[in-house]
Amino acid sequence: MSLADRNRVVLLEDRVENVSGAEFPLNFGSQDAVFNLEDFENSFDINIVCVTETDIEFDLIGVDASIANALRRILIAEVPTVAIEKVFMVNNTGVVQDEVLAHRLGLIPINADPAKFLWKQPGDIPTDQNTIVLKLD
């Protein structure tokens, strides 16, 4: 497989071709592709497509899918978000268990700017500066 073929992932109707192996990045079966930082630096490139106040869109070029996925996961983990952390149930008569319902509530994205809140430290009393209270009837 040539270098040009390895740089392009092909999406077919029933499968994906020209992807590297799962053992380690840039593993293409019969080829010996030992990771070399200097080669990576020479082939790696980022093209910035669009930048706004809240978003950035870019293309990673010369990067294996596993490395791109690792970068994606790091970026997601480092973005501050507001989420439901504690759920108090008084009388749940529904079919969904309390723990499952609390977990699902924690997955709901809350459209609030984390920069406008004070970080609640362990032992701090909840106030309107560090807490959002929601009530479901």
pTM of the predicted protein model: 0.50
What is the tens place of the pLDDT at every residue in 79-134? 878 888 888 888 888 899 999 999 999 888 888 888 888 888 888 888 888 888 88
Contact 112, 132 (CB under 8 A): yes
DSSP class of residue 132 equals -
- The helix (H) or strand (E) run that includes residue 105 is helix 98-106
What is the tens place of the pLDDT at every residue in 36-50? 788 888 888 888 999
DSSP class of residue 128 equals T
In degrees and rounded to multiples of 5, residue 88 shows phi and psi of -110, 125
